[in-house]
Structure 1
Amino acid sequence: MSEPKSRRPVAVREALQSYLARTGLERRIAQAQVVPEWPRLVGPQIATVTAPESVTADGTLFVRVATSAWMTELQLMTPEIMARLNAGRGTGRIKTIRWLLSR
């Protein structure tokens, strides 16, 4: 018979971080953080006419826009907004933004 492996106790935080990294959930959580951080990242003017909805596993952020005029403006600003969203993010980067007109 083989002896059981001796394991040292692991802190819950450490075990959870390891699990999240191993399963890819760490990246998804980092991507999802863009939604509550949206007003701070884009500023009050853009935040008042937009509403981030969701982030897909491939890094696509879906954002509702109040008017077609704003949607056109935001499409032109996408590279600048992407830079703001991804600044300082190692994992969980947003790859594309899909602007959706609110109905």
Structure 2
Amino acid sequence: MNRPKAPTPFAKALEQWLAGSGLGKRLDLATAVDDWPERVGPQIAAVTQAVSVTPDGTLMVRVATPAWATELGLMTPRILARLNGSRSGRVQHIRWMVGPLDRP
């Protein structure tokens, strides 16, 4: 006699679906914007604002001054390593854009 298969818990089914659809990595990438201040630290967070992530994994970051944009450009490899430390979706590039920060 065949026993009926036990139902899959919703959270597990959702996790499997996200992994199979590729959407899980995109969601993980999207959290890079929210995680930005914690990942880069207070000094960099004070002069930058993560804006968005493109589908190809480019993180768009607004920077307060051209001098900071230059400095951060030199620090990009270290910042990418911090951002990608525990992510399944990987930020591939950072685009530094000089402009006013949207702060409340």
TM-score with structure 1 length normalisation?
0.87
The match for 2:17 among 19, 26, 40 is 19
Q: 1:35-54 deviations in whole A, cap 9, x for unaligned?
A: 11111110101001100011
Which of 81, 89, 95 matches 1:98? 95
Selected match of 1:61 from 24, 34, 59: 59
CA distance in 1, matches of 2:16, 2:54: 22
Kindly provide the CA deviation profile for residues 27-78 of structure 1, in whole angstroms up to 9, marking residues without a partner as x: 0111111111111110101001100011112111000001111101110111
Gaps of 5+ in 1: 1-5
Aligned residues: 97
TM-score (norm 2): 0.86
The percent identity for this pair of structures is 54
Gaps of 5+ in 2: none
1:50 aligned residue? 48
Distance (whole Å) between structure 2 residues aligned to residue 50 and residue 34 of structure 1: 13
Say what the alpha-carbon RMSD is for the aligned residues: 1.3
Q: How many angstroms apart in 1 are the aligned matches of 2:24 and 2:59? A: 17
Aligned equivalents of 2:95, 2:31: Cα separation in 1: 17
Q: Which amino acid aligns with 2:48?
A: T
Say which SS state the counterpart of residue 33 (structure 1) adopts: helix
